[in-house]
Amino acid sequence: MAINKDILSNRTGRRKTSIARVKIYTGKRNFIINGKDYKSYFGRIVDQKLIEQPFDIIKNFDYEVHVNVRGGGLTGQAGAARHGISRGLSEMNEEFKIPLKKAGLLTRDAREKERKKYGLRGARRAFQFSKR
């Protein structure tokens, strides 16, 4: 755990219905998500790459990241964690903000599921029309 370490940043990231609280500490490259290593928490390699993406862009890996994420599915949680990490890194160092912004990691992905409307089968899908 990173109890004796200095917190460099404490930010929140969101995607769909997932909310991630991200704390960035000084230390070696280490990602802890909900008390587990990120590779054991996110089984899919695509989700693991999402978490690593902000550090790949800034080319600086000497941070320890602790994420508490809840809500949504695993991919939404990975996107929320990525958003929180990116926001934390840009808060720590203004030089990181430009490449992260250019890669689109500081923008919150606001896409959410559209609600079902009355008189329809789904959000937009109507019941099948029968002429006769």
Averaged over 4-19, what is the pLDDT?
Answer: 88
pLDDT at 28: 85
Query: What is the SS3 string spanning the chain?
Result: CCCCCCEEEEEEEEECCEEEEEEEEECCCEEEECCEEHHHHCCCHHHHHHHHHHHHHHCCCCEEEEEEEECCCHHHHHHHHHHHHHHHHHHHCHHHHHHHHHCCCCCCECCCCCCCCCCCCCCCCCCCCCCC
pLDDT digits (tens, 9 = 90+) for 17-63: 999 999 999 888 889 999 999 999 999 999 999 999 999 999 887 88
pLDDT at 4: 60
Greater model confidence, 8 or 127: 127
The single residue listed with the structure tokens 């990691």 is 105
pLDDT at 42: 94
Kindly tell me the sign of the dihedral angle through the C-alpha atoms of 68, 39, 76, 24.
positive
Greater model confidence, 1 or 106: 106
Structure tokens at 67: 């994420």
Structure tokens at 20: 């991630």
pLDDT at 1: 53
pLDDT digits (tens, 9 = 90+) for 93-129: 899 999 999 999 999 999 999 999 999 999 999 999 9
User: Does 2 have pLDDT greater than 60?
Assistant: no
Give the chain's mean pLDDT: 91
Pick the closest to residue 64 from 129, 9, 128 (CA basis). 9
Domains plus CATH for the chain? Answer: 7-102 (3.30.230.10)
The single residue listed with the structure tokens 């160092």 is 93
pLDDT at 3: 56
